[in-house]
Amino acid sequence: MEYTIKKIAELSGISTRTLRYYDEINLLKPARINSSGYRIYGTKEIDKLQQILFYRSLDMKLEDIQTLLGTPNYDPQHALQDHYQKLLEKRRQMDHLILTVEKTLRYQKGELIMTDKEKFIGFKQEKLQKNEASYGQEIREKYGEETVEASNQKWLNLSEADFNQMETAEKELIDALKVVMETKDYHSQEAETVFSKHKEWLSYTSPTYSAEMHRGLGQMYVADERFAAYYNNRAGANAAQALNEIIQQFAN
């Protein structure tokens, strides 16, 4: 079958304006332009639009989707299976949060006793699963299954006090890193604070600590753009590189 841009918009729930934009950026081109100048889409384009919407549902950027779909060895079936697994992870995240909300409602009504750990387990599970989806494969390849699982269990068992202290350590790390980004002084007191706070932050999840592990983590921050973006978005451009330089200097 063939569809005009209006029909495919009605079918997919995507506006004609968005479809035209996809055409402009070469993300989704129509099969052809008819004699009246209308964009015409076929089954191939329908399938590709479905793939695009799958990835958009996971909050993937359009440029990343374009790169993925444009790779020579792109396999739609493998991509669909991967998407299916990520949706299951997303559902598990929601299930944990829903369970936490339900238990909290019953706790507030006096229907059950809820430990402090139970009050936060849903949020911890959600963050853990997000991290697993984003970085799990790389972390396991570098540090091994046993180490990662031990780290995950330590994270899930954090007390409320430890969780709050971990969040505080990260905030102080970012604040000090911003100062270093301005001064470019990697031997300053602020640089030492960046290192000490990052080491403290690691202590809440890492089952063991070694300077070698710490240096390896710093290198990963600059080698993987997703890790780099985490710090660059919080402390400024090239913050991940600065953090790595500080780690390499002080971890010994």
pLDDT digits (tens, 9 = 90+) for 131-177: 666 566 666 676 666 666 667 667 667 776 777 888 899 999 999 99
User: Where are the domains positioned within the chain?
Assistant: 3-69, 76-156, 160-250
Give the pLDDT of residue 22: 95
CATH number of 3-69: 1.10.1660.10
* pLDDT in the model for residue 243: 96
What Cα–Cα distance (Å) separates residue 95 from each residue in 72, 84, 90, 103, 120?
37, 16, 9, 12, 14
This prediction's pTM: 0.47
Q: Report the chain's mean pLDDT, rounded to a whole number.
A: 82
**Which pLDDT score is estimated for 122?**
59
C-alpha–C-alpha distance, residues 176 and 218, integer Å: 17
Instruction: Scan for tokens 């999840």, then name that residue.
Output: 205
Collect the ranges in the chain with pLDDT lower than 50. none
